[in-house]
Chains A and B, each alone.
Chain A
Amino acid sequence: MKTIKVCIKRSEGFKEYMVETEEGMSVMDVLERIYDEQDNTLAFFRHEACHQEACGKCLVRVNGKVCLACGHEAAEDELVLEPWSDKVVRDLVCEQP
C-alpha cells in the first residue's frame, strides 16, 4: 500500500488526486478508484473495455508516453495522465481512431 499523486488533465485544466494504491494495480484501476471514491465527474474510456490488453481502446498518455490504461502498472509515485490525442471529447476521452 502506498499513496501516490495523480495529476489528470481534465477539459478545464489539471486536477490533482492523492490515491492509495497497492501492488498489481493498473492505471485503469487507479482511474476507477478515483471515480469511485473521489470524483464521479471524471471521464475516461471505460464503456466497453476488455481489461486484458486485447481491445486496445483505453489509450491514455501516462507520464508522457501513450499506452493502454489497463496494461500499464501504476508503480510510479507520481502519475501524470493526459489525453492520448489532441481530439479531446471530454477529460481523457478522445475521438476514437
Chain B
Amino acid sequence: MRTITTDVLIVGSGGAGLRAAAAAADGGAKALIVCKGKVNRSGSTLLAGANVSADVMCDGRSMASMGIGIGDENDSKEKFYKDIILEGVWLNDRGLVKQYVENAPTVIREIVENNKNLHPKGDDREIGIPGSTIIDTYYKMIRERNVDVVEDSSLLDLLKASDGSIAGALFLDLIHGEIFAVNAKATVLATGGMHNCYSFTSGTTGLAGEGQAAAIRAGAEMIDMEMVTFCPGVITHPMKWRGSILPYIIHTNDQFRLKNVDGEEFMAKHLPQSAVDLALHSEWNKMLLCYAMHKEVNQEGKGDAYGGVTFDLEFKDEEDEQVFLDHYPFLKTGTCNEMFRYIKDHGGIPVYGAAHYFDGGIFVDPSFATSLEGLFAAGECTGGTFGSNRVSAATTQMLVQGLEAGKSAAAYAAGAELKAFCPVCLEKAEKDALRPFEEGKEDPRRLKKKINEIVSAGAGVVRDEKGMTEALAALEAQDLSAYGVTVDTRAYNRSWMDWLESRSMLTCSKAILASSLMRKESRGVFIRSDYFYTDNDEYLVSTRYKDGRVRLEPVDQADVPVPAGRLGYIENIEDVIKRLSYS
C-alpha cells in the first residue's frame, strides 16, 4: 500500500485544518493536509454566513484596537468570557473558553492584516466577512509555508501503532478509488460537523462525521454529543437553493415575518411575548425560532408542502426597502439578488430548521489533545467550548483551536518518533473499508435515508424519552452488511462512498442518541418535551461518550454564578439573558 510519511497529519481543510497546518509548519514540523474536497473550497467554512457574511468575533476592546472602526472600548475579555459561559448555560469547558477568548484577537488581526482591501462591517464584537475570504486568508498562509496537500480523499480510519498511540490514518482517494495510508508522528482531526446524520442540513454534501466516527472507533472520549444547533431560516424550496441559510442571515430586522401555511404569524402561539422579543431581536433566536416552528408544523399541523413555514419580508414603502438593501448590499447582485426577488415575487420563501452546527464532539483539553495519545482535534469536530448553546462565532473557534492544535501537534511531533502501524490494525481498517465489495447487495443510499429519517425524528429540535429510545433501537437494528456497492469499479464509486458515509453516520448517530437519553432536562439547544425545564441541581454536567457507554461529568462552576434548582426552559433563557453584559 502507498504510504506517505509526515510529522503532522491534518485531516480537513476548513478554517481549523488550514490554521492547524500553518501553525504546525511554524512549529518546525513537516505538515500534510488530507481533505475530502478541494483544499481551499471545501468544508463548512466556505458556506459560513451563506458565504456573504460570516461573523468572526473577539472582545470589543480588542476589536476597537484593530483600526477598522468597529469595537467597544468598554468591553473586556472578562466580560466576553462570562457571556460565552452564560450563552452555553453554564456547561462550557472553562479552559476551552479561556483559550478562545485569549486568542480570538490574534486570528481577527490575521484576517484584517492579510486583506488590506477588506472593509468589514461589524458590531462591538464582530466583523462580517464571506466564508471564502477566511479560507483564502489561510490558504495563502499554508502555501507560503509549503504545506503538502492531498485532495478529494476521505478518512477511513485512524491507524494505531503497536503501543496503542495514533500513528496516522487510512484514506480513500475518492476519484481514483485508491486506498492509501499516512504515517505521522502526530495527527490533527479538523473534519467539521456531522450534518449528514440529518435529512435537512445547511452543510456541504461531505459532512458525514468521519473524524468523529473514526475517533469513536479508535476509543476516543466524546463530549456533549446530544447538543445540536438547528438554524431556523434555511431554504427548503426551490430545490436548487435548498440548504442555503441566506434568510437567516437577513432576518435580524423589523421587516421579517414567519408565517404558517395559512399565512398567519405564529410565534406568539408558542412563546411568551418576552421570548418572542428574544427570538426576533437577539442572537439567541436559533433555538427559540426552531422551537416555535417545530410546534407550528408538528403540533398544529400547519406546515407547508415542504414541511416548513414561510419566511417573508414586508416593507412599508420603497424607501424602507432601499434602506434594507443598503444594509444588506449583497442582496443587490447575483444569486442573493435572485433569492431576494423570489421572496418578493412569491410572498416569501419556504424555510425550516436545519441541522447547522454540532456543539458536541471529540473531547479535547486546552492544548487540543484528545484522550488518545498522538491525536489532536480542533474546530467543530470537537465539543465542550460552547456548552449547550453556541452564540459566539464558530469561525473564531475553528481558527483559535486550529492554531493551538497545530502548535501542540508540532511540539508533540518534535519529541516523538515515527512509529510503524500495528499490522493487524492496518489490515483490519483496509478490510473494513472494502466490505461493501464483498457483502450485501442493497444500495447503501437507502441506508443513508433510513438513518436520516430515524435521527431527524428522534434527535430533532424537540425530543422525548420514547422517541429517542425508539430511534436508538432503530439505529442498533441497522445492518451494514446488508448493503454493498452498485457497481464493481473502485473509481468514483458513489455507492462505496455512501456505504462509508453510512458507517460514519451510524456511529455518530448512536452517540448522539445515547448521550441525549442521559440528559433528563432541557438546556440551550437541547429541548425535551418530557423534561421542559433546566435543572441546575442535577445537570450541570457534560455527557461523556466512550466505547458505547455514557457517563456524566460535573462541570466546574467556580467562576460564573449559577442559580440552584429547576426553572422552566423558557424562563431560564430569560433569566440567563438578564445576566449577560450585552442584554
B interface residues (Cβ-Cβ under 8 A, vs A): 36-38, 41-43, 46-47, 50-51, 131-132, 151-152, 154, 174-176, 204-206, 237-244, 335, 443, 445, 486-487, 489, 491-495, 497
Contact = CB atoms under 8 A, between A and B. Distances in A.
A50 B244 CA distance: 10
Contacts of B51: 52, 54
A71 B334 CA distance: 11
Contact of A93 (B131, B154, B175, B243): B175
User: DSSP class of A's interface residues: helix, strand, loop or mixed?
Assistant: loop
Given A40-B486, A96-B152, A89 B492 contact: yes
Interface residues of A, number: 34
Instruction: Please indicate which of the listed interface residues B43, B151, B204 has the most CB atoms of chain A within 10 Å of its own CB.
Output: B204
A73 B206 contact: no
Given A53-B335, A57-B41, A90-B489, A47 B238 contact: no
Given A24-B239, A40-B443, A47 B152 contact: yes
Given A89-B176, A93-B175, A95-B175, A40 B37 contact: no
A87 to B, nearest CB: 11
Nearest to A24: B238
Contact of A47 (B37, B241, B335, B443): B37
Contacts of A41: 486-487
A93 B176 CA distance: 10
A43 interface: yes
B244 A47 contact: no
A56 B205 CA distance: 14
Given A25-B239, A26-B240, A49 B445 contact: no
Contacts of A55: 37-38, 41-42, 46, 204
A56 B41 contact: yes
A68 B554 CA distance: 50
User: DSSP class of B's interface residues: helix, strand, loop or mixed?
Assistant: loop
Contact of B492 (A48, A50, A54, A93): A93
A60 interface: no
B175 A89 contact: yes
A51 to B, nearest CB: 6
Contacts of A73: 240
Given A54-B131, A55-B37, 9 more contacts: A29-B239, A42-B494, A43-B494, A48-B205, A49-B37, A51-B244, A55-B42, A55-B46, A57-B42
A44 to B, nearest CB: 8
Contacts of B237: 24
Interface string A55-87: 111000000000000110100000000000000
Nearest to A92: B492
Contacts of B46: 50, 54-55
Nearest to B487: A41
6 contacts: A52-B243, A52-B244, A54-B132, A90-B491, A90-B492, A93-B491
A53 B132 CA distance: 12
Contacts of A28: 240
A25 B242 CA distance: 10
A48 B495 contact: no
A5 B175 CA distance: 28
A25 B240 contact: yes
A25 B238 contact: yes
A47 B486 contact: no
